[in-house]
Structure 1
């Protein structure tokens, strides 16, 4: 009986420490040191939450920059890659369909389509495009909105994020932030 009481007390203490004290302490420290990240890196426009800087959103219509394709259909509860091998018939078929869709949407695209416009990311939620992927959409958006191509390219350049520490990763553009800036131009 004595051993049972010791085990019960230890369980209660560990539950309080690990289940309540530790999560509250780490949340408190995160809120103080990294408040924006602790809240989900939310982007607000005119006081309204537009989305998270960390998650891709689907944008439809000719007058918006379109995000990278999502294997999870932009459903945040279903994060996943395609799991299809690059040489598989399924992957080749899906890529060809996406290429045809991109060409149909962007008549002036030509033969060189940036890879990130037709491939999905590992998580299915990559919020960024390459500057080339964004610039490939400029003629379509310019035609739909009446905003000059020069203004749109300038907008992309203004929102391009360089390599981390100058050497890691690739230059990129956050599509949500770019579309918010585009909405402000309209």
Structure 2
């Protein structure tokens, strides 16, 4: 009985120590570091715009996709993940449905649809598309907004980031920032 009580005390002490370390100290340290080194990202990279009347409005996160479906906007990747094999029949069917949607959405565009417009990202909430996917949509946006294609490309260029450290990853266009700029908010 005495051994059981001693073992129970040790288990309880270990539980308290691990709770304090992993539940209070570690999250506290990570929060302080994140708020100090990466405050914008740690707070969700929220894009807040001050309106003409002086009020502020949050429009979304620069790091999490927003869904746009109107023709006057740049449209991002499909939302949600599927965990389907790239060569599965289900994935093939989804891609075909998305290709058909693009053809009905923008029937004047006979260019090849970039792959990132018909496949979801690994996270399902990728806020960026490739420059090719943005270029695919330029003529439609220009037509819908009665702007020149040059003006649309200038806005897209402004919100296109290059490769990380000049060699890692691919260039990316932030869909939310382009659309806010198209609306004259950025």
Instruction: Pick the TM interval, shorter chain.
Output: 0.7 to 0.9
State which of 47, 61, 73 in structure 2 corresponds to 1:52.
Answer: 61
- Partner of 1:136, secondary structure, is helix
Distance in 2 between residues matched to 1:69 and 1:4, nearest whole Å: 52
Given the alignment of the two structures, is residue 18 of structure 1 paired with residue 29 of structure 2, yes or no? no
1:117, 1:8 → 2: CA distance?
A: 53
Equivalence for 1:63 = 72
Judge conservation of contact 2:161–2:172 (CA < 8 Å) in 1: yes
TM norm structure 2:
0.85
Given that 1:107 and 1:140 are in contact with CA atoms closer than 8 Å, whether structure 2 keeps it comes out as: no
Matches within 5 A, 1:92-107: 92-107=92-107
1:45/1:180 contact within 8 Å kept:
no
Q: 1:98-117 CA deviation, whole Å, 9 max, x = no partner? A: 11111222233214211111
Partner of 2:110: 110
> Residues 115, 9 of structure 1: CA spacing in aligned structure 2 closer, same or farther, 3 A cutoff?
closer
The TM-score with structure 1 as length reference comes to 0.85
Match of 1:129 in 2: 129
Task: Check the 8 A contact 1:108/1:139 in 2, yes or no.
Answer: no
In 2, are the aligned partners of 1:106 and 1:139 still within 8 Å (CA)?
no
RMSD value, Cα: 2.0
Q: CA deviation at 1:185?
A: 7.1
Q: Is the 8 Å Cα contact of residues 58 and 67 (structure 1) preserved in structure 2? A: yes
User: Contact between 2:71 and 2:144, CA under 8 Å: does it hold in 1?
Assistant: yes
Q: For structure 1, which segment, 106-115 or 91-100, has the greater mean C-alpha deviation from structure 2 after superposition?
A: 106-115
CA distance in 1, matches of 2:31, 2:91: 41
Q: How far apart are 1:17 and its partner, in Å?
A: 2.6
Cα separation, 2, equivalents of 1:85 and 1:26: 36
> How far is the alpha carbon of 1:137 from its aligned partner?
1.1
How far does the alpha carbon of each residue in 1:44-101 deviate from its partner, in whole angstroms, 9 at most, with x for none?
222322111221111121111111112x2xxxxxxx3x23233332222221111111
Q: Which has the larger radius of gyration?
A: 2
- Superposed displacement of residue 184, structure 1: 0.6
Q: Is the 8 A contact 2:49 2:185 kept in 1?
A: no
Cα distance in 1 for partners of 2:122, 2:40 equals 25
Unmatched 5+ residue regions in structure 2? 51-55
Number of residues paired by the alignment? 177
2:53 equivalent in structure 1:
none
Q: Give the Å deviation of 1:132.
A: 1.4
